[in-house]
Chains A and B, each alone.
Chain A
């Protein structure tokens, strides 16, 4: 594949600007219970049904760390090729809000559980490494519901105390496309690890987006604005686009950019100021005296490392080596663990390369059409492999295969059965084919003459006639060969 060039810049009259983006991703930890209490974390329960005395901050209640959440954070850190800190500290971030029962969020400030790491992105212009600054564990807040009653706000504490991993990137991202690739890559890694389901609709993955602009070639960063709590990739991209252009306009007008926190209005498609730097909260962080520093034994980290599943970057390399796929195909097929599992099952039973082509073509198109994903595909991997094998062996043509595929989607039947019961087998007997072709040629003497006189385009006409007569079952390769031979004679 030819490599494109990176070209996301904003052109102003005074120069060409590049956009600098850093993300703080909040990923909900997959765990049965909350970070410091035994309450369930299941999504979708009735309001305030999954709230313990700890989550609602009753007097005298104390947090106790959930070991599984710690392990999940370590696994994620390992998946990000990051340094795991044997010593980390939980701090209190103090602020008042109705959905923050304690009046503080327990988070990690100075000493996070995971330090620097990196994520590899495959961009059309080559692969790009995005640095991870840190990952820390913290509690989620509850939810304020402002639109249920005209004069009151309702509070749902089901989410209060659920464990989040805040994954902070370095300011290495340069375009909305890179942000898209980065979020998807993070999500893929965490899904492989089973540490976050990455479900953005349910709020399991959200991000604060830091955006600044600077003239191309400038060494120093511009003043950044933080866009809070954006919960879809599309909105992140729209927010960045809007915000970067807003900043460029200000600079072009000779104005300064205020460092501030902004909100993205999804209805108006614009960002607007939430609070300026002067109004910034003073969170008065200090170590939570209810919790001892978290000390991890190296053995625990080593054991977790040993038990990690194969991660997408490694799997991609293996797919290229083992199955002869190109980088693009391998990338697509490892993008979700379930897809890669499906592919491997198919590839073991059929032609590896052809399987990849058909999966990425017809199978994905069908799933996309029907709004399904690979785990609930109407075609099992085993049946899909049989279909691929039937094509490979020449039993059916590609065109017939598409028909068989359609029937498989509808019926869930295996392709052998469909091919046999509908008599869809390819005509691959050279004698039979020769007989049929001779018949066609003798019926179309005039066209044969024209062909021989140099009108070679007519070759397609003869192929069409063969297909028509055979009901599409004539082996195309064989048809070509025989036609060529007979037309020469």
Chain B
């Protein structure tokens, strides 16, 4: 079974269930892959011993009734994991070992999975290329000079390189969907409140949402089902009955109305993205869906709105990293204020500092009304655009990103061009909606491109169904040469 790690999560689960492979063999296969893929720098921490232990435990007493029976999973290093170092990609947490497990990861383990390791990410999930991590940039398995996207870049890289059968990321402005698009994988940002934020290192509380990153849409539905659910420890968690996404997955999308927003045809968008979008429309139309032109008039304000709201919340959320109770503390400084200053200067990287400064600025007295308050109002208008559209359509189809994976170092000196990469993903976070990025094709250079399906709040099942049908008819297969091993 040397090829087991090539397979989808659902295929692997089948193999475990039918005892074609043991959990231990599976785990060993992934460990081997990971050890051969150090060049990708996808992992910050590995938990091999613990994983092998759990695999043996499973094999001794297999419980195949669970959604993720006997499967090792690596997760983004933004999820707090009990007794396993959790860094958020930052120096300021480089020695932090939580005594608690995030609700989302606990849900995965309660469904039979176990931890394989912690995946690199942009520092505090701030970035679109995984180049802001204190632990170094991550490489896209698509090519050794390419970024894997961000902030869940370790997750997308590990998944595409077969270092984990599936994974989870967090998405504040596109951090699941953009890396999925850059690596030819599936990524879902669920409705805000569907997955608990408890135990996830916070970036921007009103936007952060955990979600699955997988090789197939079916895998995505399995992972979502396992990780989601009401959590009374998170006041913004939605209290609703749990859904069985995988069981209800259907590929019949006849009669569904798909909105095509004209505002997503932006200036200077590469022709191939436009062509990809056309291809997507055609596939859905051929499957019996109805295409409807819609308008989301406030789209152009989404990016500036996002880059006020997210840094504002981040500037406050990151105030707790002061060196007093846990994490990195500078030894320099003669009093409390100097200790703070040195700890935070040495502990945070440039992008995090930039956003703390922006956030502090937009909340300052005299600027609050012009920036933060205005941004909150615009956010309501953006949300209303979507609400209005969803009275006419079932889902919205857009490109996931305005480009394919860019080169390492290409945008690091130009933050604004980096931020522009989020242009299609941030409106969804501002509106709190679910959106699925699907691999849809390649550009001229042979790099993957993704399309995004946006749904109504809590309409994950519908976009998963559309994605499922699309996947079957798209004819795209992610073929990655393992150049690193």
Contact B319 A103 (CB under 8 A): yes
CB-based nearest B residue for A104 = B316
CA distance A442 to B152 in the complex (A): 115
Quick check: B322 and A103 within 8 Å, CB to CB?
yes
The answer on a CB contact under 8 Å between B319 and A59 is no
| Chain B min CB distance to A188 (Å) | 35
Which of B100, B312, B316 contacts A103 (CB under 8 A)?
A: B316
A60 lies within 8 A of B235 (CB): no
Contact in complex: A289, B233 (CB < 8 Å): no
Q: A155 CA to B339 CA in the complex, in Å?
A: 15
- Complex formed: what's the CA distance from A101 to B80 in Å? 18
Interface segment, A61-69, A165-173, A382-390? A61-69
User: Across the interface, which residues of A come within 8 angstroms of B96, CB to CB?
Assistant: 59
Does chain A have a CB within 8 A of B360?
Answer: yes
Interface hits, A286-305 → B, CB 8 Å: 286, 289-292
Identify which of A56, A59, A155, A282 contacts B201 (C-beta below 8 A).
A59
A362 to B319, CA, bound (A): 58
Residue from the list A103, A153, A155, A292 in contact with B320, Cβ < 8 A: A103
State the CA gap A63–B202 with chains docked (Å): 13
A96 at interface by CB-CB < 8 Å: yes
Are A284's CB and B199's CB within 8 A? no
Which residues in B have their C-beta under 8 angstroms from that of A64? 232-235
For chain B, residues 153 to 210, give those with C-beta under 8 angstroms from any C-beta of chain A.
197-202, 204-206
Measured CA separation A63–B205 after assembly (Å): 12
In this assembly, does B221 line the interface, its C-beta being within 8 Å of a C-beta of chain A? no
Asked if B102 is at the interface (CB within 8 A of a chain A CB), the reply is yes
Query: Is A463 engaged at the interface, CB distance under 8 Å to the other chain?
Result: no
How far, in whole Å, are A61 and B320 apart by their CA atoms in the complex? 11
Question: Do B205 and A290 touch across chains, with their CB atoms under 8 A apart?
Answer: yes
Residues of chain B with a CB closer than 8 A to A58's CB: 98, 100, 325-326
Closest chain B CB from A236 CB (angstroms) = 29
Give the contact stretch, choosing among B13-21, B128-136, B364-372, B454-462.
Answer: B364-372
- Give the complex CA separation of A53 and B98 in angstroms: 10
Question: Residue A102 at the B interface, CB < 8 A?
Answer: yes
A153 to B336 alpha-carbon distance, docked (Å): 9
Q: Across the interface, do A290 and B236 meet the contact criterion of CB distance under 8 Å?
A: yes
Task: Find out whether the CB atom of B198 lies under 8 angstroms from the CB atom of A286.
Answer: no
Query: A291 to B204, Cβ gap below 8 A?
Result: no
Give 1 or 0 for each of B300-335: 1 = CB within 8 Å of chain A CB: 000000000000110110111010111000000000
Chain A residues lying within 8 Å of B201, measured Cβ to Cβ, are: 59-60
Of B235, B315, B368, B372, the contact of A62 (CB 8 Å cutoff) = B235
A451–B364 CA distance with the chains assembled, in angstroms: 91
Q: Tell me, yes or no, whether B138 is within 8 Å of chain A by CB.
A: no
A92 within 8 A of B: yes
Q: A58-B98, A60-B202, A286-B363 are in contact. Are A94 and B316 (CB under 8 A)?
A: yes
Complex: A285 Cα to B318 Cα, angstroms: 15
Q: Does B88 contact A (CB under 8 A)?
A: yes
For residue B449, give the distance in angstroms from its CB to the closest CB of chain A: 33
Does A57 have its Cβ within 8 Å of any Cβ on chain B?
A: yes
Contact across chains for B319 and A104 when beta carbons are under 8 A apart:
yes
CA–CA, A21 to B313, complex, Å? 37
* A291 and B325 contact, CB distance less than 8 A: no
- For residue A94, which residues in chain B have a CB less than 8 angstroms away from its CB? 315-316, 319, 363
Chain B positions within 8 Å of A98 at CB level: 322, 324, 336
Judge if B93 is at the interface, Cβ distance under 8 Å: yes
How many chain B residues touch A (Cβ–Cβ < 8 Å)?
42
Contact B313 A289 (CB under 8 A): yes
Contact yes or no, A57 B325, CB < 8 A: yes
Contact pick for B86, options A59, A61, A289, A292, CB 8 Å: A59
Asked whether A60 lies within 8 Å of B368 as measured between CB atoms, the reply is no
Tell me whether B319 and A290 are in contact (CB under 8 A): no
B224 to chain A, nearest CB (A): 20
Instruction: Please report the C-alpha to C-alpha distance between residue A282 and residue B362 in the assembled complex, in whole angstroms.
Output: 12
B48 touches A (CB below 8 Å)? no
Measured between alpha carbons, how far is A284 from B316 in the docked complex, in Å?
Answer: 9
Measured between alpha carbons, how far is A285 from B205 in the docked complex, in Å? 15
B340 proximal to A (CB < 8 A):
yes
Contact B320 A101 (CB under 8 A): yes
Give the residues from 64 to 102 in chain A that come closer than 8 angstroms, CB to CB, to chain B. 64-65, 92, 94, 96, 98, 101-102
Chain A residues within 8 Å of B200, by CB: 60
Chain B: minimal CB distance from A217 (Å): 35
Query: Bound state CA distance, A405 and B420, in angstroms?
Result: 87
Q: Complex formed: what's the CA distance from A324 to B136 in Å? A: 84
> Judging by beta carbons under 8 Å apart, are B235 and A286 in contact?
no
CB nearest neighbor in B for A64: B235
Minimal beta-carbon separation of A296 from chain B (angstroms): 15
Q: Check B368–A286 contact: CB distance below 8 A.
A: yes
Bound Cα distance from A64 to B326, whole angstroms: 23
**A60 contact set on B, CB distance < 8 A:** 80, 98, 102, 197-202
Measured in the bound complex, the distance between the Cα atoms of B319 and A155 in whole Å is 17
Contact B316 A59 (CB under 8 A): no
| Minimum Cβ distance to chain B for residue A54 (Å) | 9
Closest residue of B by beta carbon distance from A288: B205
| Residues of chain A with a CB closer than 8 A to B372's CB | 286
**Contact status B319-A284, CB under 8 Å:** no
Chain B, 340-359, CB within 8 A of any chain A CB: 340
Chain B residues within an 8 Å CB radius of A282: 364-365
Cα distance, A62 to B100, chains bound together (Å): 13
Q: Which residue of A lies closest to B206 (CB)?
A: A289
User: Contact at A96–B235, with CB atoms within 8 Å?
Assistant: no
Residue of B nearest to A291 (CB): B235
B236, B316, B324: the one contacting A155 at CB < 8 Å is B324
Min CB–CB distance A277 → chain B (angstroms): 12
Closest Cβ–Cβ distance, residue B271 to chain A (whole Å): 39
A297 CB to closest chain B CB (Å) equals 17
CB nearest to B79 among chain A residues: A60
Q: Are B88 and A59 in contact (CB under 8 A)?
A: yes
Q: Interface digits, A115-156 against B, CB 8 Å rule (1 contact, 0 not)? A: 000000000000000000000000000000000000001010
Nearest residue, chain A, Cβ from B80: A60
Residue of A nearest to B325 (CB): A56
- Residue of A56, A102, A289 near B205 (CB, 8 A) is A289
A62–B326 CB distance below 8 A: no
CB-CB nearest in chain B for A63: B235
Give the distance to chain B from A282, nearest Cβ to Cβ, in Å: 5
Partner of B80, one of A59, A63, A103, A289: A59
Q: Quick one: closest B residue to A97, CB to CB?
A: B336
Tell me the complex Cα distance, A290–B201, Å: 13
Which residue of chain A is the closest to B207 with respect to CB atoms? A289
| B230 vs chain A, min Cβ distance (A) | 13
Choice from A62, A155, A285 contacting B197 with Cβ under 8 Å? A62
A290 touching B235 in the complex, CB below 8 Å, given contacts A60-B197, A60-B198, A96-B340: yes
In the complex, what distance in Å separates the CA atom of A92 from the CA atom of B314? 12
How many Å lie between the Cα of A485 and that of B360 in the bound state? 94
CB distance from B298 to the nearest CB of A (A): 21
In the complex, A98 Cα to B338 Cα: how many Å? 12
CB-nearest residue of chain A to B366: A282
Q: Which residue of A lies closest to B78 (CB)?
A: A60
Question: In whole angstroms, how far apart are the Cα atoms of A98 and B319 in the complex?
Answer: 11
| Cα–Cα distance between A286 and B313 once the two chains are bound (Å) | 9
Chain A residue nearest to B99 (CB atoms) is A53
CB 8 Å contact bits of A147-189 with B (1 = contact, 0 = none): 0000001010000000000000000000000000000000000
- Whether A286 lies near B320 (C-beta < 8 A) is no
> Do B235 and A284 have beta carbons less than 8 Å apart?
no
**What per-residue 1/0 map shows which CB atoms of B447-478 lie under 8 Å from chain A?**
00000000000000000000000000000000
CA distance A359 to B228 in the complex (A): 65
Q: How far is the CB of A274 from chain B (nearest CB, A)?
A: 16
Q: Which of A53, A284, A285, A291 has the most CB of B within 10 A?
A: A284
- Which 5 pairs across A and B sit closest by C-beta, in order of nearness? A103-B319, A289-B205, A284-B363, A289-B206, A57-B320
Question: Given known contacts A59-B88, A103-B319, A290-B205, what 13 new A-B pairs fall within 8 Å (CB)?
Answer: A53-B99, A57-B320, A60-B98, A60-B200, A62-B234, A64-B234, A64-B235, A94-B315, A94-B363, A96-B322, A96-B340, A101-B324, A104-B319
- 5 A–B contacts, CB within 8 A, in A order: A57-B325, A59-B93, A59-B98, A60-B98, A60-B202
